């Protein structure tokens, strides 16, 4: 079911107050209206609060497709990830709103023309339904759409393959969101010249099931190489290691496999690391970080989810907790100790050369992770004789 969520902030004629209205409708009729009265000093907080209420209502009504129209261009850009939310009191609300938005199968965000704001008082006096009619007339896209980003990224992959005189792309298909997105982009770029390798290594059955689900969704060629016995043999040869010391063997075996098979076929190895994990060093050096091209390494995790929805990645992969499947019950957020929303929020500030706002302990933890993992991102130091 498709629903339309229209949000507007308009003065109701009361000094020091602003009216925040949210209307949920189908193409033909209003389903529900939500109204708020909150002082202008916290108007942005009120808009986000009302929007979150509206998103939850849409979800409860069973919507899988959503069209969001807001009267703030800045808010629209924040929701689509083009502008970051700098205000500390808004960031948790914005992250909550974006997380709710990602729960829908298909979402579009637009902002209403500024001309409508000039008539806000008049429209508010005539009721929120009338305002909604005005909002629906001229939605304006505020930035490059996710669809355009997908097209550009796919074109970039094709360009890199052609420049290397390669025949196609090979990648590991883990059953996670990142590899699913890269696989779909590679398919869009290279068609049938894409090989996805599923490499179980004491992996959970659900991971393999999700990998198969992705392969079927995008008609991908696949091959399975079970690395369990190889891993066990290496572990047996090094019995003195602490348990954690074995955790990176699997990722490095997988990359060895991809390069062996890629070389045989003349394919480039595509990495699946995103910006968030790269910044904090949440990857295996010479493992999943070793690749010929990195299509999504400039995208934060929340952007990867946006791209996944645009590409049509199966919903099960979008909603399940991200995991590297390093051991039973392992999750990325549990191991890192921060949610991806928290990480993305802090990293955006750091990337822009600004001091992050929010929980000081969490900010310091992210800074520490970046510092300690610098060697994983740097080029290999080479001694040069004076």
DSSP for 192-209? T-EEEEE--SS--HHHHH
Average per-residue pLDDT in the chain? Answer: 81
Report whether pLDDT(137) > 70: no
Confidence band of 112 (pLDDT split at 50, 70, 90): low
Last residue of a domain, one of 98, 120, 143: 143
Tell whether 312 and 194 lie within a shared domain.
Answer: yes
pLDDT of residue 150: 94
pLDDT at res. 220: 98
pLDDT for res 295:
96
Q: Which residue segment(s) compose the domain that 315 sits in? A: 147-376
Same domain as 332, residue 222: yes
pLDDT at 369 exceeding the cut of 50: yes
From 143, 175, 201, give the residue that closes a domain: 143
- Give domain status of residue 382, yes or no: no
* Structure-token pair, residue 40: 């202008």
Q: How far apart are CA 102 and CA 301, in angstroms?
A: 12
Q: Which of 72-76, 123-127, 196-200 has the lowest mean pLDDT?
A: 123-127
Across residues 12-20, what is the average pLDDT?
42
Is 386 among the domain residues? no
Tens digits of per-residue pLDDT, 282-334? 999 999 999 999 999 999 998 899 899 999 999 999 989 888 776 677 788 88
Same domain assignment for residues 228 and 353: yes
Average pLDDT score over residue span 7-35: 59
Highest mean pLDDT among 51-55, 150-154, 319-323: 150-154
Residue 36 lies in a domain: yes
Gap between the Cα atoms of 323 and 57, Å rounded: 29
Task: Kindly state whether residues 136 and 197 are assigned to the same domain.
Answer: no
| pLDDT value of residue 327 | 65
In a domain, 164, yes or no: yes
Instruction: Give the domain-ending residue among 96, 122, 143.
Output: 143
Is residue 384 in some structural domain? Answer: no
> What local confidence, expressed as pLDDT, does residue 81 receive?
66
Model confidence at 18, pLDDT cuts 50, 70, 90, reads very low
Domain count, the chain: 2
Q: Is 120 helix (H, G, I), strand (E, B) or coil?
A: helix
Residue 381 lies in a domain: no
pLDDT(36) > 60 = no
Instruction: Mark whether 37 and 134 lie in a shared domain.
Output: yes
Helix (H) or strand (E) holding 232: helix 228-237
Task: Give the lowest-confidence range in 105-119, 160-174, 222-236.
Answer: 105-119
Q: Of 18-22, 274-278, 290-294, give the lowest mean pLDDT range.
A: 18-22
CATH of residue 124's domain is: 3.30.420.10
pLDDT band at 136, cuts 50/70/90?
Answer: very low
Judge if 307 and 219 occupy the same domain.
yes
Residues 100 and 81 in one domain: yes
pLDDT at 124 over 50: no
> What Cα–Cα distance (Å) separates residue 292 from each residue in 170, 204, 304?
10, 28, 20
Q: In this predicted structure, what is the pLDDT of residue 111?
A: 61
pLDDT at residue 128 greater than cutoff 70? no
Residues 357 and 312 in one domain: yes
What SS3 class is residue 101? helix
Residues 166, 131: one domain?
no
Is residue 325 included in any domain, yes or no?
yes
Q: What average pLDDT does the segment 358-374 reach?
A: 93
Q: Are residues 132 and 169 in the same domain?
A: no
More confident residue, 183 or 83: 183
Query: Where does the pLDDT of residue 120 fall: very low under 50, low under 70, confident under 90, or very high at 90 and above?
Result: very low
Please say whether the dihedral angle defined by the alpha carbons of residues 119, 93, 74 and 153, taken in this order, is positive or negative: negative
CATH number at residue 308: 3.40.50.620
Q: Which letter, b or e, does each residue of 198-236 get, where b requires 16 or more Cβ atoms within 10 Å of its Cβ?
A: bbbbebbeebbebbbbbbebbebebeebebeebbeebee
Banded pLDDT at 351 (limits 50, 70, 90): confident
Domain membership of residue 103 (yes or no) is yes
| pLDDT > 70 fraction of the chain, expressed in percent and rounded | 80
Same domain for 108 and 167, yes or no, is no
Same domain flag for 185 and 326: yes
User: Which residue has better confidence, 25 or 198?
Assistant: 198
Rounded CA separation 267/222 (Å)? 14
Q: Which two tokens stand for residue 303?
A: 């952007």
Highest-pLDDT range among 45-59, 211-225, 336-350: 211-225
Rounded-to-integer distance, Cα 73 and Cα 81, Å: 12
- What pLDDT score does 114 carry? 36
């Amino acid at each position: 079911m498709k629903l339309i969520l229209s949000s507007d902030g308009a003065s109701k004629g009361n000094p020091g107050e602003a009216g925040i209205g949210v209307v949920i409708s189908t193409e033909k009729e209003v389903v529900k209206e939500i109204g708020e009265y909150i002082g202008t000093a916290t108007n942005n907080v009120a808009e986000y609060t009302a929007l979150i209420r509206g998103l939850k209502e849409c979800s409860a009504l069973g919507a899988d497709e959503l069209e969001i129209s807001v009267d703030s261009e800045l808010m629209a850009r924040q929701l689509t990830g083009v502008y970051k939310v700098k205000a500390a009191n808004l960031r948790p609300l914005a992250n909550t709103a974006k997380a709710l938005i990602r729960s829908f199968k298909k979402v579009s965000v637009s902002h209403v023309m500024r001309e409508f704001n000039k008539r806000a008082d008049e429209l508010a006096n005539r009721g929120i339904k009338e305002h909604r009619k005005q909002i629906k007339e001229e939605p304006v896209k505020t930035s490059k759409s996710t669809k355009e980003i997908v097209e550009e990224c796919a074109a970039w992959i094709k360009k890199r393959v052609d420049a290397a005189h390669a025949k196609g792309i090979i990648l590991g298909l883990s059953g996670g969101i990142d590899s699913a997105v890269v696989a779909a982009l590679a398919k869009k770029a290279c068609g049938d010249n894409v090989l996805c390798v599923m490499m179980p290594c004491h992996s959970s059955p659900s991971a393999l099931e999700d990998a198969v689900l992705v392969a079927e969704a995008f008609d991908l060629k696949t091959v399975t190489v079970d690395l369990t016995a190889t891993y066990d043999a290496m572990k047996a040869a090094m019995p003195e290691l602490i348990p954690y010391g074995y955790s990176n063997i699997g990722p490095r075996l997988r990359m060895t496999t991809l390069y062996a098979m890629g070389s045989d076929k003349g394919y480039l190895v595509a990495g699946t690391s995103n910006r968030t994990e790269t910044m904090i060093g949440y990857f295996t050096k010479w493992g999943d970080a070793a690749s010929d091209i990195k299509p999504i390494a400039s995208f934060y995790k929340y952007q990867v989810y946006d791209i996944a929805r645009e590409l049509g990645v199966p919903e099960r992969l979008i909603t399940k907790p991200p995991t590297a499947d390093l051991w039973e019950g392992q999750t990325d957020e549990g191991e890192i100790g921060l949610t991806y929303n928290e990480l993305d929020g802090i990293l955006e500030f750091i990337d822009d050369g600004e001091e992050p706002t929010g929980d000081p302990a969490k900010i310091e933890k992210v800074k520490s992770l970046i510092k300690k993992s610098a060697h994983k991102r740097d080029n290999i130091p080479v001694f040069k004789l004076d």
